[in-house]
Structure 1
Amino acid sequence: MTGVIVCADVGSTYTKAAAVDADTGALAGTASHPTTLGTDVMDGLRAAVANALPKGATVVDTLVCSSAGGGLRLAVIGNEPLVTARAAYRAGLSAGARVVDVRAGTLGPADLAALAAVRPDVILLAGGTDGGDETVLRAHAAALASASERDGLTTPVVLAGNANAAADVTAILEAAGVPVTAVGNVLPRIGTLDPVPARTALRDVFLRHVIAGKHLSASADFTRMVKAATPDAVLTGVELLAERTGDLLVVDVGGATTDVYSVLTPDAELQGPRAEVAGTAWRARTVEGDLGVRHTAVGIAEAAGEEDLPTDPDLPEAARRRGADPALRAGTDRERAFDRELSALAARIAVRRHARGERIGGPTEPLRGGKDLAAVAAVVGSGGILRRDPGAAEWLREAVGGDTSGGVRPPKDARFTVDTDYRLAPAGLLAAAGRRDLASRLLAGI
């Protein structure tokens, strides 16, 4: 047996491991094990890896992504809700972060107290286009520095605002003891979104500060092996898969959230004068924290009611049981049917929200950043329930492709499939580690 590269995802509920042939990119084995947050996550990781390895295999490298312990909790600060704050919000999602707070405008003591209360792991500080107004960005830096000195708020900051003010803003924060990483502007010009520098910096901060700070393992090996937040690794895999499929939509239905990823061809009509001021994210991720099939299953039933979607009369009770016992296993046909219905509803509603755009700055703000999904060539489903259900591709087609009443344009002639072997995250880890050829071969199995 040739050497294998172990690619593992340590989630809040399960740890999944894949053994990839280091020469051919073939999938040599997979396994999962409950994540051992109660002891040391390395216990569950070792168990999953041991079960995934083929007999006689030699491990030549181990790459890990993680969302255990809540993943990367990000707060966003920008000049205005509809421009730089929105651009930074989109950049944060592309980095695999869970955006827990968005602030814009004047930051007073109450704002800073609210910011501290949500316990962000990192703050993404944006503001102004390059060469534009520097006043608000400087004021935000001074407010964070004051909070550091007064309240001990020393959350690491990724600075991705007006390049002309970057040196001074960095100096203000560093003088107050705030760790800061300065990168290129997320919105260098009106209508131009550039999330890549911020995404790269957030990944580095996640590895340096967050993984070590969550104390998930007593072993230094875990910190060394973790290369990315799980959603960041998945998006990298999605981007690589889109090079083969064309426009792509991925729906990942999980126990706590449903994430939607899209890679779309830029629309020439939305450039120039018609461009959105905060830029358009043609490679995007949205996270629906109320649409998980276990921890937040009640949210699915409630959202279905808000969307006027028909459901089984007993679905709310089934959702309540799952929220009360996230470890519930569907042991009967009836329970499996509830899992299927909850998953299909989560997929449909999450894709609707992804296509409609996001509302930043409060419930009265307009939706921005909507997407036309009609030309999507492939839709890939992911998540434990989908992987275990042989008919998942068909009910996913009905839930997403057959959704004609949601006020959005769903995929019209797409191929629907399921990532049954959980290849996307391992492929993203491989690609980020400079092994794009192996990652591409691995994705050929989807």
Structure 2
Amino acid sequence: MTLLACVDVGSTWTKAALVELDTGRLVETRQAPTTPADVVAGVLAATEGWGAPVRACSSAGGGLRLAVVGYEELISAEAGHRAALSAGARVVHVAAGRLDAAALRQLAAAAPDVVLLVGGTDGGDATVLRHNAATLAQAAPLQGPGASLRVPGGSGVLPRSVPVVVAGNVDVRAEVCAVLTAAGTPVTAADNVLPDIGQLAPESARAAIRDVFLTHVIGGERLSADPRLRRWVRAVTPDAVLDGVAVLAELWAGTDAPGVLVLDVGGATTDVYCVPAVDAEQASLHRAAVGVPARRRTVEGDLGVHASADALREAAADEGLSTPGGDPLELGEAAAVVALRRHLRAEAAYGPGGASARGAGLVVLSGGVFRHAAPAATAAVVQRVAADRGGAGSVLAGARVVVDDRYVLAAAGLLAGDAPAAAAGLLTGLLAD
């Protein structure tokens, strides 16, 4: 019997599933508090005594804090939000126009984990992009490795180690990256998030942000200095879960109501995953050709019941909802409504291809607020969300609702690449519950 420990390192809890690879049988599940000082300790606690190799995904640390530096505020903010979705990043600051000393101090005060540097369409004006890259690069380093940058007229405020993802005018991409690299700034190049007027293309920047997460957060010392963590972690948790959802959608496809939506309410983020049924109209349009991905997600870095609770309350107020108190289920309900409303707004951007998201026949609830609640309490939350007139209720109408109370979606995603039969076996058990 070959066993593998599939681990999801969350911001609050570390969840582990011991899986029999030959069959996909779930041998045992455990969880342990995530240990912020060194997350490896939490992984070892959750897998103690199993003696199996570890494969992990992680969203610990509350996800990435992303700052966007661009040309025009509204466009830059939208591009940043689109690019942040799949990495679980939260946009904490948007700077527009030419950076000066005051703008640099505001940028540093937001304490970003990564800066997304954008600006200009391909072949268009590159003046602002060049200026902002040079300004970041020319802020003289204080003495000592890893020291802060000295901003003219102010104190050292921006850590030299903050990586930059360059996703602006491709005509000057190499030049901009070279300027930053020469200054000692970690740089990742991506395609332009705004290649043409009115056209947003965030996928390449999303992938770059995910790489930054794995390299600079997982691979750095923010979560642990233990080299085992980098060997264990194969993906950010939203990516792993989406892979698991894709497997689940294949299993569910033969039912009378195909289409799967997963709502994962966590301590720091609330994530919505969607693999809608492909109707005849969309099949005839050749989904890939019209730019509508067959599976998609929204990851809301400001909607969480623990680390992001204050931001969640603000978001609920912005949506016209009652401000939730401290009860976890009450917070979870607010997170579910806001996240589903946002998800449907994002789906609307796909045009007709997004409408089918409302037709999901299976809705899976995940996260500790649902896992630890009594079934009657969870059912009551589902009923209240289904009654929401702001859009969220349409997702649950007529769907079968199940709870991923053993956290098998992330585990299935970690297995989907090289052990697809085991991944399917895990999720067959979820559907049998």
Runs (5+) with no aligned partner, structure 1: 270-278, 320-337, 359-366
Query: What is the aligned length?
Result: 396
Percentage of identical aligned residues: 51
* Equivalent AA in structure 1 for residue 338 of structure 2: I
**TM-score, length of structure 1 as denominator length:** 0.75
Matching of residue 186 in structure 1 with residue 193 in structure 2: yes
Deviation at 1:167, TM superposition (A): 1.1
Per the alignment, residue 107 of structure 1 pairs with 99
Q: Select which of 265, 268, 290 maps to 1:253.
A: 265
CA distance in 2, matches of 1:301, 1:70: 17
Moved more, 136-145 or 407-416: 407-416
- Whether 1:423 aligns to 2:412 is no
Alpha-carbon deviations, 1:252-279, whole Å to 9, x = none?
222344333445579999xxxxxxxxx9
Contact 2:88 2:299 in 1 (8 A): no
The residue identity in structure 2 corresponding to 1:253 is V
Residues in 1 aligned to 2:201 and 2:277: alpha-carbon distance in whole angstroms: 16
The 8 Å contact of residues 357 and 368 in structure 1, kept in 2 or not, is answered as yes
Deviations 1:212-237 (A, max 9, x none): 43443342212321223333433443
Aligned with residue 231 of structure 1, among 235, 238, 246 = 238
Instruction: Confirm whether residue 285 of structure 1 aligns to residue 303 of structure 2.
Output: no
Q: Quote the Cα distance in structure 2 between the aligned partners of 1:135 and 1:76.
A: 17
Task: Report whether the alignment pairs 1:378 with 2:375.
Answer: no
- Do the aligned residues in 2 keep the contact of 1:252 with 1:258 (CA within 8 Å)? yes
Specify the code of the residue in structure 2 equivalent to 1:24: T
Q: Find out whether 1:33 has 2:40 as its counterpart.
A: no
Match of 1:86 in 2: 78
Q: Is the 8 A contact 1:247 1:377 kept in 2?
A: yes
Partner of 1:50: 48
Look up the match of 2:130: 138
Find the counterpart in structure 2 of residue 66 from structure 1.
Answer: 58
Greater shift after overlay, 148-157 or 19-28?
148-157
Show CA shifts across 1:108-159 (max 9, x none). Answer: 2222211112222222223333333333322222222123655264321122
Residues 189-222 of structure 1: CA deviation (Å, up to 9, x unaligned) = 4555444433332222222222243443342212
| TM-score, length of structure 2 as denominator length | 0.77
- Corresponding residue for residue 390 of structure 2: 406
Distance apart, 1:419 and its partner CA: 1.3
Task: Describe the superposition over 1:10-49 as per-residue Cα deviations: whole angstroms up to 9, x where unpaired.
Answer: 22321111122222333222100122335x4322211211
3-state secondary structure, aligned to 1:102: strand
Aligned mates of 1:174, 1:9 — CA distance in 2: 33
1:10 and 2:14 aligned = no
How far does residue 385 in structure 1 lie from its aligned partner after superposition?
2.3
- Could you tell me whether the CA contact under 8 Å between 2:138 and 2:183 is conserved in 1? yes
Matched, 1:387 2:371: yes
Aligned position for 2:333: 344
- The answer on whether the counterparts of 1:394 and 1:416 sit within 8 Å (CA) in structure 2 is no
Counterpart secondary structure, 1:213: coil
Taking a change above 3 Å as real, the CA distance of residues 35 and 304 of structure 1, as seen in their structure-2 partners, is closer
In structure 1, distance between residues paired with 2:301 and 2:330: 17
The 3-state SS of whatever aligns with 2:407 is coil
Indicate how the Cα distance of structure 1 residues 305 and 72 shifts in structure 2: closer, same or farther if over 3 A, else same. Answer: closer
Alignment of 1:159-308 (within 5 A): 159-190=166-197, 192-245=199-252, 247-263=259-275, 283-287=296-300, 289=302, 291-294=303-306
1:115-154 aligned at under 5 Å gives the runs 115-147=107-139, 149=141, 151=150, 153-154=159-160
Hey, what's the Cα distance between the residues in 2 that align with 1:242 and 1:167? 41
Cα distance in 1 for residues equivalent to 2:225 and 2:392: 48
CA distance, structure 2, for counterparts of residue 259 and residue 309 of structure 1 = 19
Please give the alpha-carbon distance, in whole angstroms, between the structure 2 residues aligned to 1:191 and 1:242.
33
Residue 369 of structure 1: CA displacement? 8.7
Distance 1:392 1:386, change over 3 A: farther
Is the 1:401–1:410 contact (alpha carbons within 8 Å) kept by the matching residues of 2? yes
5+ residue gaps, structure 2, are 142-148, 151-157, 253-257, 283-290
Q: Secondary structure at the match of 2:36?
A: coil
> Match of 1:397, SS?
helix
Q: Retained in 1: the 8 A contact 2:87–2:238? A: yes
Question: By how many angstroms is 1:92 displaced?
Answer: 1.6
